[in-house]
Amino acid sequence: MPNTQDLENICTQVRRDILRMVHKVNSGHPGGSLGCTEFLVALYYTIMERKDQFDMDGLGEDIFFLSNGHISPLFYSVLARNGYFPIEELNTFRLIDSRLQGHPTTHEGLPGVRIASGSLGQGMSVAIGAAQAKKLNNDPHLIYSLHGDGELQEGQNWEAMMYAAANQVDNLIATVDLNGQQIDGATDDVLPMGNLKDKFEAFGWSVTVIEEGNSIEAILEGMAEAKSKTGEGKPVCVLLKTVMGHGVDFMMHTHAWHGKAPNDEQLAIGLAQNPETLGDY
């Protein structure tokens, strides 16, 4: 199992992948991708129990769903570097005839993806369904999901939250990326959502807050706590406080890089801040 330094090194490489992918096609969403890098790397390299070969049903392994599909560059990089498909395929991101569509999809048969996402607010319901299928199959493995904070403005999430608690879907750990930013600005300016911890708890969920959502150690500790709360009759929520654009200084603490790619000069600066560790694709 990789140690903390190994995971940090992987994150540095994944950041390079993200920057290079969105730069090449001058489109995509680097801000949220960079902010969730530590989380997804920790999840795939350490936290989840996964089988070597991908199959859609995912029986006998933990399953992850990305609900905020626009952070596809991060998802693709982590999937490729975990061997789900060739790393070189990252070169095809958002190009015609690619399996790496702008937002993740099962439609092109890309291993590692189990649901299309991009139109926001749908992933929690899907994760709940998969969690209930696990229970019907007597499969003790867990369902993990990731959601944006702005995404919680979609009402379907609240239907799903009510349902998951009422039906004791306690094999689900839904993580919310609390970066406080969305396309039009800070979430507190666009549509303040109040105290999300109180809201999840009021809906009957167990909540773990990870204050340092860009710290590998804090993520491992927080997710271990979240995992310890599963199987106790309540769905589990992780509120992951991250910095959008983390690891590239000029992209941090702003919504400006939500859906904008760096130019040549900006790419060079970003890559210099994230030296190659595993080898570029």
Partner 1 sequence: MKTYTYTEKKDTRSGFGAGLAELGRTHPNVVALCADLVGSLKMNTFINENPKRFFQVGVAEANMMGIAAGLTIGGKIPFTGTFANFSTGRVYDQIRQSIAYSGKNVKICASHAGLTLGEDGATHQILEDIGLMKMLPGMVVINPCDYNQTKAATIAIADHVGPVYLRFGRPSVPIFTPADQKFEIGKAIRFTEGNDVTIVATGHLVWEALEASKVLHEKGISAEVINIHTIKPLDEQAILDSVRKTGCIVTCEEHNILGGLGESVARTLALSHPTPQEFVATNDTFGESGTPAQLMKKYGLDSEAIISKVETVIKRK
Single out the segment in contact with partner 1 by CB under 8 A; choices: 9-17, 85-93, 99-107, 215-223: 99-107
Binding mask 57-96 for partner 1 (x = CB under 8 A): xxx---x-x-------------------------------
Q: Which is nearer to partner 1, 162 or 224 (CB)?
A: 162
- CB-based burial of residue 96 (10 Å sphere; 0-12 exposed, 13-18 middle, 19+ buried)? exposed
Among residues 258, 164, 262, 252, which one has the least CA distance to residue 213? 252
Which residues between 144 and 163 bind partner 1 (CB under 8 A)?
A: 155-156, 159-160, 162-163
How far is C-alpha 244 from the geometric centre of its chain's CA atoms? 13
Single out the segment in contact with partner 1 by CB under 8 A; choices: 55-63, 175-183, 215-223, 240-248: 55-63
Judged by CB under 8 A, the residue of 107, 232, 249, 276 near partner 1 is 107
Q: What is d(CA 206, CA 210) in angstroms, rounded to the nearest whole number?
A: 13
- CB-based burial of residue 237 (10 Å sphere; 0-12 exposed, 13-18 middle, 19+ buried)? buried
Judged by CB under 8 A, the residue of 102, 129, 185, 204 near partner 1 is 129
For position 50 contacting partner 1 by CB under 8 A, the verdict is no
Q: What is d(CA 105, CA 115) in angstroms, rounded to the nearest whole number?
A: 6
Q: Residue for token digits 């507190």?
A: 188
For position 171 contacting partner 1 by CB under 8 A, the verdict is no
Q: Which is nearer to partner 1, 138 or 195 (CB)?
A: 138
Among residues 224, 128, 115, 122, which one has the least CA distance to residue 167? 128
Q: What is d(CA 156, CA 162) in angstroms, rounded to the nearest whole number?
A: 10
Which residues here bind partner 1, judged by CB under 8 A? Answer: 56-59, 63, 65, 105-107, 114-119, 122-134, 136-137, 139, 155-156, 159-160, 162-163, 167
